[in-house]
Each structure stands twice: as C-alpha cells, then as structure tokens.
Amino acid sequence: MKTNDIQTRGLVLLGCGKMGSAMLAGWLDGGLPAQSVWVIDPNPSAWLRGTGVHLNAVLPDRPAVVLVAVKPQMMGEALPTLAALGNGETLFLSVAAGTPIAAFEAALGETTPIVRAMPNTPAAIGRGITAIIGNTRTTPAQLDLAEDLLGAVGQVVRLDDEGQIDAVTAVSGSGPAYVFHLIETLATAGEAEGLAPDLAMTLAKATVAGAGALAETSPESPTQLRVNVTSPNGTTQAALEVLMNEVDGFPALLARAVKAAADRSRELGK
Ligand SMILES: NC(=O)c1ccc[n+]([C@@H]2O[C@H](COP(=O)([O-])OP(=O)(O)OC[C@H]3O[C@@H](n4cnc5c(N)ncnc54)[C@H](OP(=O)(O)O)[C@@H]3O)[C@@H](O)[C@H]2O)c1
C-alpha cells in the first residue's frame, strides 16, 4: 500500500462496525502502523481497543483521508463533527450505501475532495469488490490512494459516472445476498430429492464456492464453463432447460431482481 501520505498526515475512520473493521484489519495486516489511524466510534469493540489505534481522541489537523463508514441514517449526526476538515486537502472516502456525493458536498463544503465507494460483504474475508467514483475536486493521486485503501479488502473498479452506482449496488453490493439465497434454495431442493439437510447444505455451499472460484480463475468464460459441463441430453441439460427458460427462468428472474434493487437505490439516493 502506498501509505506515505497517510503515515505522515494520518487516517481517520468515522464509524468502525462491520465494514470499517474489515478495512482496518486489512490495512493493519498490510503494514499500516496503528499509530497512523484515528477511529471515532461510540462503542469500540474489544478487537478495536486492542489494535493500538487512537480511539475517540483529538484528530490530526489535516489527515490524508477520512473514511466514512457509518450507517447512512447516522450520517446527519456524524458528518458535521468533521466539517472542519472539509474544503481542504483531506480526502473523504465514503462506503455508505445510498448517500450521494452531493450530500457530502452539502455537509462538508463544495470544494471537499470526495470519493464515493460501493463495497460488498465478502470484504470481511478480503474477497470484496468495490466500485469507486470521485467528485471533480478529487485528484488522480487521491483516487489512487482510495483504490489502494479499498484494495486491502478485495478488488477495486472505477466508474466514470455516479449514476452507475445504482446498477453496481444492484449487482455486486446486494449480489452476495442473491448468492446466499441460491445456496439456501439449492440445499432445500436437494432435501426435496431425499438428502439430509446437513449434507444438502454442505453440497450447496461447496458447489457455489467452487464454481465461483473456477469462474473467477479460469481463462474460459462462464458461458464456456457451463457448456463444458453440459452433455447433450444429460442431467445438467435437463436442469438448464428449466433455469434458462426465457419466460420464468434465471434470465427473466434476475433481470427483475436487479432492476428492483437498482430502482430502490435510485429512490434512496433522492
Ligand atoms: N456491510 C456491508 O457489506 C456494506 C456494504 C456496502 C456498504 N456498506 C456501508 O458501510 C457503512 C457501514 O456499514 P456497517 O455494516 O459496517 O454498519 P455497522 O456495523 O453498524 O457500523 C457502523 C459503525 O458506526 C458507529 N457509529 C454510529 N454513530 C456514529 C457516530 N455518530 N460517529 C461515529 N461512529 C458512529 C456504529 O456504532 P454503534 O453500533 O454503537 O451505533 C458502528 O460501530 C454503511 O453506510 C453501509 O451502507 C456496508
């Protein structure tokens, strides 16, 4: 991680719950000294207290970054405490779902560099994917720094327009829940075919995890990987004829689900 600027000027973490802790753990594992980090959180966990970071202490004057990881509904209360750091050289990096860049500009000042990010829960095991978009005040070096920081918990992709965040939220932000539901329903379907619940769940989890890893690492596309395991008139083909049905199969169902999530994200951002 290119953390020189952070080591000299400091990094502030506003809110250190699930997402904040996952990121902090990634940075500390990556070699960021705990002494460079200031955390503001009303109820610090035992883990957090043991890290050696500055906890609810006086903040540095011009930290390199403020990472905002409070729940969107806490934003109105939490942000004004940091308004003094706005309109300066401190980059505000927010992972809050549904809070647009304009809301940060309104609370912190129009010339504040702000990067809005949408991560997802596999960040907790370093396997997340985060999409980022900066406002016009963000320098290329600050975008690189944001990418570096978020890279501690997985992959990072850049967007060219904040409007894309709603679709990203609907695909990767909410997506882990769709996959968890796939695991649940695959296991239940296995039970219906006579498997014991534990065995069905073990098979479903390993299948989704293994297929996901294969899709991610294989040089072949998911489409080709699917074709490779589908023998003519075999068992897989029988299932895929149901799943790929244009009227009520996966394509129609997922399109509806992703659209519902994106619509809700647009609504929340208003
Ligand atoms: N979890 C995810 O996978 C995920 C994915 C995408 C985006 N996000 C975003 O990440 C943000 C954090 O989510 P989370 O799941 O990590 O939530 P969380 O576990 O509830 O963490 C939020 C933390 O902020 C603390 N907090 C509350 N009010 C505060 C204040 N005024 N000043 C400082 N800290 C305050 C909370 O303390 P208390 O618990 O004591 O209130 C809690 O420790 C959200 O905006 C969410 O949209 C999360």
Pocket test for ligand 1, best of 16, 70, 156 (most atoms within 8 A of CB): 70
pLDDT given for residue 146 in this prediction: 96
* Ligand 1 binding residues, C-beta < 6 A: 14-20, 40-43, 69-72, 74, 77-78, 95-97, 119-121, 173
**Per-residue model confidence (pLDDT) at position 2:** 57
Pocket residue to mutate for ligand 1, from 23, 39, 59, 74, most atoms within 8 A of Cβ: 74
**Predicted local distance difference test score (pLDDT) of residue 5:** 87
Average pLDDT value for the chain: 95
Q: What is the pLDDT of residues 127-158, one digit of tens each?
A: 999 999 999 999 999 999 999 999 989 999 99
CA of 241 to the centre of ligand 1 (A): 43
Q: What is the pLDDT of residue 270?
A: 78
Q: Which tokens is 149 given?
A: 């920081």
d(CA 97, CA 72): 7
How do residues 66-86 score in pLDDT, each as one tens digit? 999 999 889 989 999 899 999
Q: Say if residue 1's pLDDT is above 60.
A: no
Q: If pLDDT is split at 50, 70 and 90, which confidence band does 4 have?
A: confident
Tell me what pLDDT residue 3 has.
66
Closest CA to 262 of 254, 72, 62: 254
Q: Which atom of ligand 1 lies closest to the CA of 124?
A: 3
How far is the centre of ligand 1, averaged over its atoms, from the C-alpha of 70 (Å)?
A: 4
